[in-house]
Amino acid sequence: YTTDKEWRMVNAADSAPDLRAIVVGDSEGCVHLLDPRAPPGPLCSLPLHKKGNKVVSVALHPLEPRMLLTAGNDHTARLFDIRQFSSSRDPSSAVASSAAAG
């Protein structure tokens, strides 16, 4: 897809069972929240993984679709409550993260 300034490749996507939320991960480490009922474009985008590292997997919990799990090429997995999505706040304050030691 394209932003105002650049092209980004979508590497991972998932949707809530009720299709009220679609989450995609891109080639630059960002996760984007989309609502198919809203105008085109993400509702918000957050850099949940290190810049330049692909988000390789996104998964919304099947029973609690507000919970999002992501994995990136930066060797981290992150668990996030999408109710906390807001481009104006620091995502690290609402993210549980795990990185492999080594």
Q: Where do the domains of the chain lie, and which CATH numbers do they carry? A: 10-99 (2.40.10)
Q: Which residues contact 6 (CB under 8 A, 6 or more apart)?
A: none
pLDDT of 7: 76
Residue 88 reports pLDDT greater than 50: no
Task: State the pTM of this model.
Answer: 0.77
Digit-coded pLDDT (tens) for 10-43? 999 999 888 888 999 999 999 999 888 988 888 8
Closest CA to 27 of 50, 52, 48: 52
Question: What mean pLDDT, rounded, does the chain reach?
Answer: 82
